[in-house]
Amino acid sequence: MTTSLLHQRLISCRQHSVTLAEPLSEADLQIQAEDFASPGKWHLAHTSWFFEEFILRPRGLQSSVAESFRFLFNSYYDTIGQRQPQGRRGLISRPSLAEILDYRAEVDHALASLMQTALDQDTLELLELGIQHEQQHQELFVTDMVYNLSQNPLLPAYLPPATSRTQPACDQHFLSFDGGLVTIGHDQAGFCFDNECPAHKHYLAPFKLANRLVSNADWLAFMEAGAYQQPLLWLSDGWKQRQQAGWEMPLYWQRDQHAGYAAYGMHGLQPVDPAAPVRHISYFEADAYARWAGKRLPTEAEWEHAARSSSADTAHAHARFADLARPKQATMHDLFGQAWQWTASPYIAYPGFQTRSGAVGEYNGKFMNGQYVLRGSSIATPAGHARASYRNFFAPHQRWQFTGLRLAEQG
C-alpha cells in the first residue's frame, strides 16, 4: 500500500469516529453506566492518544496537552505508566468535548506532517495498527453508547428509528465439512493482529455447521420451553450467573403482556424481529441454547475453516449499520456483518505466538486468560474490518456486545 493511500484511509477512519459522535450531545458522550462501558468522549480521546503515544511521541512529535492526556486516556498499557481507572472514566468531565475535538485535530495535523516524510516499515506498520485500533474503538463506541443510553428510563435512540425489517430467515440446515489437516491463522498478505499469528496446521474431525445464525424466533422457542429455568442445560458458572443476574431473556429485551417482546438497540425500543439474528447473549446462554437444541458451539478452527472453504456470504456492509444482502447462491449466511459468533474455544495463544516488543506488545497477549473467542463481525463493525482469521474475545458472562451464535455438530 502506498503512503498516500494509507493517509487517505487514516483521514477517513479519523473522520468516521467524529461522525459516530454527531447524533449525540456532550451529556450523552459523558455517561458511563458500568465499568465495562466507557464514555463516548473517552473513546474519541483514547484513539488520538494511541497515535500520539506509539507513533508521534517516539518520533519527537507530540500535542500541547500530551502529558496530562497521557494519564487520562491510557487504557491498559502498564509499561507506559499510571492511568485513570477504567470504572472512573465517566468522571473525566474536563477536558470538554470541544477540547477533545481540538486534541484530535492537533494529532491529525501532526500525523499529516509525518506522512509527508520518508517513513520506515515500522512506522507504516504502526500507522496501520493505529487505524485498525481506531476501528475497534468505533465498534466499542457504538456498543458502549447503546448500553449507556439504555440505562436512561426514557430509552432514547442513538439513531432514528429503523424503517425496514429483516428478510425472512431461511430454513436452518447443516453443511458438511470433511475436516482433515487444515491451516488456521493469518497466512495472507495484508494486516492482521498479532493474536491471529502464526498460521499453523490444525487437525479437524469431520463436522457440520449451520447455514445461518440462530434467530430471535429460535430464541423465543428456547425461552418458551423454560430453558432459562433448567439448570441441567447450563454450565455451573453460567447457572450461577443466570441466577445472580436474573437472566430470563437476552440483554435489552423486555416483555409487554399485550404487545409481546421488544428490544432496545441503536434505533431505540423496537418490536423484536423474529427473523433477525439473536444478539446480546453471553457465552453461557449460547452454550445452553446449543445443548437445548441437541447441538454444540463450533470451535474457532471449525468456524475459520468453514469460512475459508465454503461459498459464503462474505460481503461486508458498506453503508453505516446497513443489513447485509443475502445472495441467493450463498451456502452460508451472515458469517460477517450481523453478529459476533461465540465459539467453544478459549482465547489462548496459537503455537509459536510472540508478542511485539515494547508497550504495544500489551495489545492482545495479556488477555489470554478466562475468555472465549468470537468469530465474524457485527452490525457495528466498521466496513473492511472483518476477515476469516479475526479473533475477537470476551469473558463468558458479557452480553453488551453484539454477540450471537451459529450451531455445529459432528459430521
Q: Where are the domains of the chain?
A: 3-150, 174-410
Average pLDDT on 330-355 reads 93
Of 26-40, 123-137, 349-363, the range with the lowest mean pLDDT is: 349-363
Query: Given this model, what pLDDT does residue 312 score?
Result: 46
Q: Of residues 167 and 263, which shows the higher confidence score? A: 263
CATH class of this structure's domain 3-150: mainly alpha
For residue 339, give the C-alpha cell: 453478529
Query: Given this model, what pLDDT does residue 1 score?
Result: 67
pLDDT confidence bin for 13, thresholds 50/70/90: very high
Of 166-175, 196-205, 235-244, 332-341, the range with the lowest mean pLDDT is: 166-175
Among residues of the chain, what percentage have pLDDT more than 90?
83
Residue 258 CA to residue 256 CA, distance in Å, equals 5
Q: Is pLDDT of 366 > 50?
A: yes
Q: What's the pLDDT tens digit per position in 86-135?
A: 999 999 999 999 999 999 999 999 999 999 999 999 999 999 999 999 99
Query: Given this model, what pLDDT does residue 170 score?
Result: 85
Residues 51/104, Cβ–Cβ less than 8 Å:
no
Residues 127/10, Cβ–Cβ less than 8 Å:
yes
Bridge partners (DSSP) listed for residue 262: 254, 271
The pLDDT mean for the chain works out to 92
Residues 362/247, Cβ–Cβ less than 8 Å:
no
pTM for this one? 0.93
Q: Which CATH number fits domain 174-410: 1.25.40.10, 3.20.20.70, 3.90.1580.10, 3.40.50.720?
A: 3.90.1580.10
Q: What's the pLDDT tens digit per position in 323-336?
A: 333 333 348 899 99
Average pLDDT on 293-298 reads 98
Query: Given this model, what pLDDT does residue 328 score?
Result: 35
Q: What's the pLDDT tens digit per position in 372-391?
A: 999 999 999 999 999 999 99
pLDDT confidence bin for 316, thresholds 50/70/90: very low
Q: How many CB atoms lie within 10 A of CB 330?
A: 20
Residue 275 CA to residue 270 CA, distance in Å, equals 14
Q: What are phi and psi of 131, to 5 degrees?
A: -65, -45
Average pLDDT on 395-408 reads 98
Most confident of 1-15, 68-82, 290-304: 290-304
Location of C-alpha cell 473467542? 373
Task: Note if the bond before 298 is cis, omega within 30 degrees.
Answer: no
Average pLDDT on 318-323 reads 36
Fold equal for 3-150 and 174-410:
no
